[in-house]
Structure 1
Amino acid sequence: MFSVIFVVLQVLLVFIAVYQFGLSMFGLMKNKSRKKHAPKKTFAVLVAAHNEEQVIGALIENLKKLDYPNKLYDIFVICDNCTDRTAEITREHGVNACVRTNANQRGKGYAIEWMLKELWSMPKQYDAVVMFDADNLVAQDFLRHMNDDLCEGKQVIQGYLDTKNPEDSWITAAYAITYWYCNRLWQLSRKNLNMSNFLGGTGMCFDSKLLKEMGWGATSLVEDLEFSMRCVQRGIYPVLNYDAKVYDEKPMSLRASAKQRLRWMQGHFNVARNYFFPLLWASIKERNITKFDAAIYTISVYNTLLGFLLTIWLWIDIAIPGPNVIQSIYEHLPWWLVAIAVIATVLQFPVALKLESVKSKRMYAHLLTLPVFLITWWPITLYAFFTQNNKTWSHTQHTRVLRIEEVQSK
């Protein structure tokens, strides 16, 4: 009985793994032809900030120098429950500091919802809204790429998420490697298949008419994923702009990283609970592969949890003296098939680095420490499962002050 349950669960995980691997093959090639449009769209650039006095100045300087007509975009820094000099520094740079104080509704999702209401009430209106985090740096041509997609009728656009500090520690290196992998073999593959991409929390662009119609309504701990699923439900598929780069600061210590990822996983469980079955039923009813893919994506957090529990279950069975109670699916597969699966799993990350033209030997060396980082997802996800009802937002402190020229020269 135990073996049957174990094998059934393993088969489920294998199916999802094979499905994702099949999708990733469509990310091996990228289409370089893109139609260019003259600057036309106007942008409200929103920066979500909570006690970001150390990094906000560098981002504002960066945004003010974007390769886009200054008259076509304005910058608004959401100073959300700040107790430091974030608002003061913002004003010193000649940018709109929008101060919000609400101790009961803390977090980026609430801050964005509040800011959009403020934005819609202003005399000047904008064609689109772009969102960044205060620790980001942005490629100079970012708004040009957003303008191109908006002129082509796109309504929700996700830029290419990169890291600004990949060589600071083995933790930031692991983040960078997983970002490069996801950009190429998760996001680009879905774009090439005309399926929905998924928002990454920053470097996002939204058509203003759509935002006014839908409302933000995403106040979970992972507001980006929540809004992505709301869009897919409505048949509006976010699209990746592979050329529009935004650089995100990543925590340097395992402790800070675990705290950040715990928040992500808690929010992800919440989204899975609310959107998996509605999207799955809709995909069956409409015969819609994109909605099916989105449903599968929502439960990726359960895949991690289930993989962890099955691994522990198997290890315990092996450690107990006597005949094994559990039979693994791999015992019934030819050795060469198992070998191919293992090799494909190991090679996907170095292949992603090669495809993304990563030249740093240190990054390739950090492939050796990457498995440790990936394994740390297991206890984090387990703890998140038991604390998923916790909706208290936790702030990740940002201190790495870099300029866009420094990041792009590496």
Structure 2
Amino acid sequence: MLSVVFIVLQVMLASVAVYQFTLSLFGFMKNKSRKRHAPRKSFAVLVAAHNEEQVVGALLENLKKLDYPKELYDVFVICDNCTDKTADIARSMDVTACERSNQNLRGKGYAIEWMLKKLWGMPRQYDAVVMFDADNLVNPDFLQLMNDDLCEGHQVIQGYLDTKNPDDSWITAAYAITYWYCNRLWQLSRTNLKMSNFLGGTGMCFESNLLKDMGWGATSLVEDLEFSMRCVQRGVYPILNYDAKVFDEKPVSFRASAKQRLRWMQGHFNVARNYFFPLLWASIKERNMVKFDAAIYTVSVYNTLLGFVLTVGLWIDVALPSKDVIHSIYSYLPWWLMLVAILATVLQFPAALMLEKVKSRKMYAHLLTLPFFLISWWPITFYAFFTQNNKTWSHTQHTRVVRIEEVQGK
């Protein structure tokens, strides 16, 4: 009986893997054509910050030099429960600092919801809202590219997420490689298939009227994923602007990385619990492939969990053989098919680097350390499953001061 359960679960996981691999093949194509529009849309640029005095100045300097008419955008720094000089730095750079103090409702989602209410009550109203994190850097043409997409009628836009410090450690290199992989073989493939993209927490643009109509309402530990699912439910599909690049600072140490990823997985379990079945039923009822894909994406955290549990179970069975041997689907498949599956999985990462024209030999060398990073998701997700009701937001400290010129020069 146990073998039957194992095989059924393995078949389910294999089916999802084949589905995602099939989608990834459409990421090999890249349509470079994009209609351009004269600057027309006005933007409220929100910078979410909690004790970010070390890095916020570099981003604000970057934002003040964007290739977009200065009269068409204003920058607001959300100083959320800050106890340092974040607000002072913002004011010294002629940027509006909006200070929030609420020890009960902590986290980026709550801070954004608070800021949007303030924004809607201001004398000046904007066509769209753009959101960054204080540790980010952004390409100078970011707002122009958002303007183009808004003029084309898009309401929710995600920029291309990159890493500003990939060379700092094997951990930051792993983040960079997975970002390049996800941008190309997850996000772009869905763009090419005209499916919904998924928000990444920063480098996001929203039409103001949509935000006013929907309300933010995304206050989980993964507010970006939560808002993505709310949009898909509503029939509003976020798109990816592949040219609008945002550079995000990533944790240097494994401990800081594990803490950040634990928060992501805890939040992901909550989103899966709230949105998987509604999206799945809606996809069946409406025969809507986009909603089906979103449902599969929400439940991917359970795929990681099951993958870990099944793998550990098989290892234990091998180490402690008994009469009731656990059978695996691998024992029923030809060896060459397993080899093809392994190669297809492994080669996606170097393929993504080549497609993204990554020239650093160091990054290709870090493909050897990447498996340790990927495997570490298993125990993190396992622990997150049992602590998913912990909704306490944890801050990731940012200290890496880099200028946009340095990032572009790499």
Partner of 1:71: 71
- Work out whether 1:146 is the aligned partner of 2:119: no
Task: Give the Cα separation in 2 of the matches to 1:296 and 1:365.
Answer: 32
How many angstroms does 1:321 deviate by?
A: 4.0
- Residue type of the alignment partner of 1:49: A
What are the residue-to-residue correspondences of 1:356-371 with 2, within 5 Å? 356-371=356-371
Partner of 1:194: 194
Q: Mark the CA change 1:324 to 1:340 in structure 2 (over 3 Å): closer, same or farther.
A: farther
Task: Give the Cα separation in 2 of the matches to 1:20 and 1:359.
Answer: 27
Partner of 2:8: 8
Task: Give the Cα separation in 2 of the matches to 1:326 and 1:390.
Answer: 34
Cα deviation digits, residues 10-32 of structure 1 (max 9, x gap): 00000000000000000001000
Task: Give the Cα separation in 2 of the matches to 1:67 and 1:300.
Answer: 38
Cα deviation digits, residues 151-180 of structure 1 (max 9, x gap): 000000000000000010000000000000
- Work out whether 1:20 is the aligned partner of 2:45: no
Task: Give the Cα separation in 2 of the matches to 1:18 and 1:306.
Answer: 16
Task: Give the Cα separation in 2 of the matches to 1:22 and 1:144.
Answer: 33
- Residue type of the alignment partner of 2:306: L
Task: Give the Cα separation in 1 of the matches to 2:351 and 2:271.
Answer: 31
- Residue type of the alignment partner of 1:2: L
Any conservation in 2 of the 1:222–1:264 contact (CA below 8 Å)?
yes
What are the residue-to-residue correspondences of 1:4-403 with 2, within 5 Å? 4-322=4-322, 325-403=325-403
Task: Give the Cα separation in 1 of the matches to 2:61 and 2:160.
Answer: 21
How many angstroms does 1:36 deviate by?
A: 0.3
Cα deviation digits, residues 40-72 of structure 1 (max 9, x gap): 000000000000000000000000000000000
State the secondary structure of the residue aligned to 1:236. coil
How many angstroms does 1:255 deviate by?
A: 0.3
Task: Give the Cα separation in 2 of the matches to 1:269 and 1:176.
Answer: 24
Any conservation in 2 of the 1:49–1:133 contact (CA below 8 Å)?
yes
Task: Give the Cα separation in 2 of the matches to 1:356 and 1:244.
Answer: 14
Task: Give the Cα separation in 1 of the matches to 2:193 and 2:404.
Answer: 32
Any conservation in 2 of the 1:318–1:324 contact (CA below 8 Å)?
no
Task: Give the Cα separation in 2 of the matches to 1:32 and 1:231.
Answer: 26
How many angstroms does 1:324 deviate by?
A: 6.2
Q: TM-score w.r.t. structure 1 length?
A: 1.00
Point out 4+ residue stretches in structure 1 off by more than 2 angstroms.
321-324
State the secondary structure of the residue aligned to 2:304. helix
State the secondary structure of the residue aligned to 2:148. helix
State the secondary structure of the residue aligned to 2:232. helix
- Residue type of the alignment partner of 1:189: S
Task: Give the Cα separation in 2 of the matches to 1:321 and 1:355.
Answer: 45
- Residue type of the alignment partner of 1:298: T
State the secondary structure of the residue aligned to 1:297. helix
State the secondary structure of the residue aligned to 2:44. strand
Cα deviation digits, residues 96-147 of structure 1 (max 9, x gap): 0000000100000000000000000000000000000000000000001000
- Residue type of the alignment partner of 1:295: A
Identity %: 81
Number of equivalences = 410
Task: Give the Cα separation in 2 of the matches to 1:249 and 1:128.
Answer: 25
- Residue type of the alignment partner of 2:403: R
- Residue type of the alignment partner of 1:166: P
How many angstroms does 1:278 deviate by?
A: 0.1
How many angstroms does 1:388 deviate by?
A: 0.2
- Residue type of the alignment partner of 2:21: F
Task: Give the Cα separation in 1 of the matches to 2:395 and 2:321.
Answer: 47
Task: Give the Cα separation in 1 of the matches to 2:335 and 2:261.
Answer: 35
Cα deviation digits, residues 165-198 of structure 1 (max 9, x gap): 0010000000000000000000000000000000
Task: Give the Cα separation in 1 of the matches to 2:30 and 2:14.
Answer: 27
- Residue type of the alignment partner of 1:103: Q
- Residue type of the alignment partner of 1:139: N
Task: Give the Cα separation in 1 of the matches to 2:117 and 2:96.
Answer: 15
How many angstroms does 1:335 deviate by?
A: 1.1
State the secondary structure of the residue aligned to 1:37. coil
How many angstroms does 1:323 deviate by?
A: 5.2
Q: TM-score w.r.t. structure 2 length?
A: 1.00
Any conservation in 2 of the 1:272–1:298 contact (CA below 8 Å)?
yes
Task: Give the Cα separation in 2 of the matches to 1:321 and 1:153.
Answer: 61
State the secondary structure of the residue aligned to 2:9. helix
Please give the root-mean-square deviation of Cα atoms over the aligned residues, in Å. Answer: 0.6
Task: Give the Cα separation in 2 of the matches to 1:362 and 1:323.
Answer: 49
- Residue type of the alignment partner of 1:3: S
